[in-house]
């Protein structure tokens, strides 16, 4: 009798778990479908497919997201933060004049909206997060896009509303790749370039200099996740996160899945690839 009751209890638990799993899967599927619908609407609204110039497309998307959202972390932001479809819908609502106030977002949510829009246009993207090693890992994140014409990564930051270029040549570059030599590059906004640039929200680009210690690269399409460190990194510092204490790769273990490399010796294009 006890054995039968145990089997029944196990079967019941398995059934409950299956129901929860199915509910989670359905919720994620519905969210992904809603996000894709909003993304396709943004592509059509901006007439991106009719726009032949690569950089013009990227800049238009970045400016659109920045214009129709507000960098603010409040209760509204936290209510939406696990629902990318809500952020896409909020940006669209403000762009259409259906909402008087822009939706509250920040660097990671603006980045996660820009990525699927570029994906819908067939572009390869990766997410980069940068960390200030001299603090308890204050961070910032942005998107990098692979230029199909050059085969080079280029940074697009919808939060600061900037891209990056080489000072001498004017060529657009990856901030992740050039993080060691920050004096050779500069950020560019809509009409001006320079480290003293400030976005329409008053976010100054020179703030990022302190964050260019550790560079985390996540390329989901290739299944790569690794981190690089510059000469400015405090490698001996101990950090605390979610109850864990230790080095960067101990408290941010997932970011070091494919290694933790000195950017002066290894390329940011692929984990462990020598320069």
Assessment of whether the complete model's pTM goes beyond 0.85: yes
Q: What is the pLDDT of residues 158-179, one digit of tens each?
A: 999 999 999 999 999 999 999 9
Q: Give the count of domains, the chain.
A: 2
Give the range of the structural domain holding residue 88, as residue numbers without chain letter: 1-122
Are 98 and 201 in a shared domain? Answer: no
In terms of Cβ atoms closer than 10 Å to its own Cβ (0-12, 13-18, 19+), residue 236 is exposed
**Same domain, yes or no: 164 and 186:** yes
Both 140 and 240 in one domain: the answer is: yes
Tell me: do 141 and 83 sit in the same domain: no
Q: Can you spell out the DSSP letters for 109-170?
A: HHHHHHHHHHHHTT--EEEEEEEETTTT-EEEEEEEEEETTTTEEEEEETTTTEEEEETTT-
pLDDT of amino acid 272: 72
For residues 177 and 231, membership in a common domain is answered with: yes
Assigned token pair, 13:
């638990």
pLDDT tens by residue, 8-37: 555 555 554 455 455 454 456 567 789 999
Q: Given 122, 142, 162, which residue is the final one in a domain?
A: 122
Residues 201 and 137 in one domain: yes
- Positive or negative: CA dihedral 51, 56, 58, 63: negative
């Amino acid at each position: 009798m006890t054995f039968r009751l145990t089997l029944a209890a196990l079967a019941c638990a398995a059934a409950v778990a299956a129901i929860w799993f199915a509910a989670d899967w359905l919720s994620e599927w519905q969210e992904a479908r809603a996000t894709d619908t909003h993304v396709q609407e943004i592509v059509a609204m901006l007439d991106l497919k009719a726009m032949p110039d690569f950089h013009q497309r990227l800049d238009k998307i970045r400016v659109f997201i920045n214009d129709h959202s507000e960098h603010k972390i409040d209760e509204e932001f936290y209510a939406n933060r696990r629902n990318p479809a809500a952020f896409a819908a909020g940006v669209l609502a403000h762009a259409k004049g259906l909402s008087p106030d822009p939706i509250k977002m920040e660097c990671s949510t603006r980045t996660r909206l820009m990525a699927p829009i570029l994906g819908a246009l067939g572009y390869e993207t990766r997410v980069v997060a940068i960390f200030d090693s001299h603090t308890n890992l204050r961070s910032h994140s942005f998107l990098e896009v692979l230029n199909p014409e050059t085969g080079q990564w280029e940074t697009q930051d919808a939060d600061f509303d900037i891209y990056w270029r080489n000072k001498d040549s004017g060529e657009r570059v990856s901030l992740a790749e050039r993080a060691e030599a920050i004096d050779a590059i500069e950020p560019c906004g809509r009409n001006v370039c320079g480290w003293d640039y400030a976005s329409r929200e008053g976010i100054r680009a020179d703030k990022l200099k302190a964050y260019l210690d550790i560079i985390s690269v996540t390329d989901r399409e290739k299944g790569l996740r690794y981190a690089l460190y510059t000469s400015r990194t405090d490698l001996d510092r101990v950090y605390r996160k979610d109850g864990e204490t230790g080095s960067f790769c101990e408290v941010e273990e997932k970011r070091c899945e494919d290694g933790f490399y000195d950017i002066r010796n290894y390329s940011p294009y692929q984990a462990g690839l020598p320069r």
